[in-house]
Amino acid sequence: MTVAIIGLGLMGGSLAMTIRKLPMIKSIVGFDHNKEHEKEALALQLVDNIVSFDEVRQADIIVLAIPVDAIIACLKALEGVDKKTTIIDLGSTKEKIVRSVPASLRKNFVAAHPMTGTEKFGPSAALDDLYHDKVVVLCDMEDSGQYQQETAVRLFSQIHMRLIYMHAHEHDLHVAFISHMPHLISYSLANAVLHHEEHENILNLAAGGFRSMSRLAKSSPTMWGDIFRQNKTHLLDSLSYFENELAQMKKLVKNEDWDGLDQKMTSANSLHDILK
């Protein structure tokens, strides 16, 4: 099979590195609106060739590894591809994307979200083990064509991903808590320090805790702005839960209720027993 990857940054570039090893893949071609990314991806041998958008349409599998708003626009431009073409998006939101798929493309389309990534972006950020042993969520698969379902499952299984199936609405609710909210909080944490009048002195002391919590603030604002817009309702709900917990902790500190604070922290400790 020929695979065309639209978007040659972290997600697209890493997928190219990974699937190149598969017997089912004959060639990998790429397309990116950023021409420097195209040159870099070619130089790094992430793809075999850079092609035009019209040539992308001829591939057996088309992967959309671009910001979520761009995925919606791209799907409209892909109308008329062969009925056996498999189109897979890797967007971090799913409900709005699924609703926006042109009816003529719905059998071609597979909505996927690999639960992996880093705060880095661009072709040089690509990692050949980014997808290994990670979860990929496949949404509303009953609306995809049988051939397209089988192709996507085969591809993700062969790169050793763990497949989970759910509806798009359910997906967006869950990822608001474990992905979208943490990113917004990280941006807020970074700005809280940067806007302090003593920020230079504060940052001179920055160590592991701050660096870990602010790491996500290095992520692409363009990409995450699109995600926040598309998942606004669930994001706001998740932030309300967080604000409630933060207010409780703040009150315990203010009232010097150290026993109550200890109980809250002990409860939080149990999270990583679950995540093992």
Instruction: Tell me the average confidence (pLDDT) per consecutive run of 10 residues in the chain, 276 residues long.
Output: 96 95 94 95 96 95 96 96 97 96 97 90 92 97 98 97 97 96 95 86 77 88 93 97 96 96 94 80
Predicted local distance difference test score (pLDDT) of residue 276: 67
Instruction: Note the residue count of the chain.
Output: 276
Query: Rounded CA gap, 86 and 152, in Å?
Result: 8
Cβ atoms within 10 Å, residue 120: 14
Pick the CATH number of 2-166 from 3.40.50.720, 3.40.50.2300, 1.10.3720.10, 3.30.70.20: 3.40.50.720
* Fold designation for 171-274: 6-phosphogluconate dehydrogenase C-terminal fold (1.10.3660)
84, 149 contact by CB (below 8 A): no
- Domain layout of the chain by residue ranges: 2-166, 171-274
Same fold, 2-166 and 171-274: no
Query: Rounded CA gap, 148 and 226, in Å?
Result: 27
Whether the model clears a pTM of 0.85, i.e. scores above it, the answer is: yes
Give me the sign of the Cα torsion angle 262, 275, 190, 240. negative
Q: Which of 152, 65, 46 minimizes the C-alpha distance to 108?
A: 152
